Amino acid sequence: MEIAVKKLTPELAESFLHFFDHIAFQDNERWASCYCHYYRSSWGEGEWGQRSREENRQAAAKWIEAGGLNGYLAFSDGEPVGWCHANDANHVVKGADQPRDPAAKMGVFACFIVAPDHRGKGIATALLRAACEGFRATGYSLAEGYPSKQGETVQDHYHGPLGMYEAQGFEVVRELEHCYVVQKRL
């Protein structure tokens, strides 16, 4: 199986939307309305739960068109099979909820989603590598991720597993209640 990883651009918006519409959440319908829009804002209590799938889909499409939703899509035989939300730290509200230096050039990983029938084949690692290269090529000096400390399911580890980050040279820099904060100098 050959995997091609491509940076999300407005030209790939339909592939992104198709992935979220039909592929990404076949085994987790509860998250199917996200479209990575959850990380766009600090939601007030109950606000996120009131948003519809269509509202989030439209907001994600606009965010892609404006160049604000950044990440990488993995393709197999022309079909999207994976997604990594890799964005400037100042464009991602959620994460470790730690104070950030707005002047720092740091990229963060908000989520990794791999199609159920393509898991365990190195797709998330390929996405992580491509994103780190993309960050480096555009002048970022640091990448940060938030692997969960607990949980048994793929959904519990949607920020990416700790072992994947460590295998790619990330180091744990903080331990929080529910996650590790891992960083890699680029």
**How far is it, in rounded angstroms, from Cα 142 to Cα 100?**
12
Range of the domain at 67: 3-185
Give pLDDT tens digits for 61-110: 999 999 989 999 999 999 999 999 999 988 776 555 566 666 778 999 99
CATH number at residue 60: 3.40.630.30
| Side chain identity, residue 42 | S
- pTM given for the model: 0.91
Residue found by looking up tokens 């190195």 in the block: 122
**How far is it, in rounded angstroms, from Cα 78 to Cα 2?**
10
**Total domains present in the chain:** 1
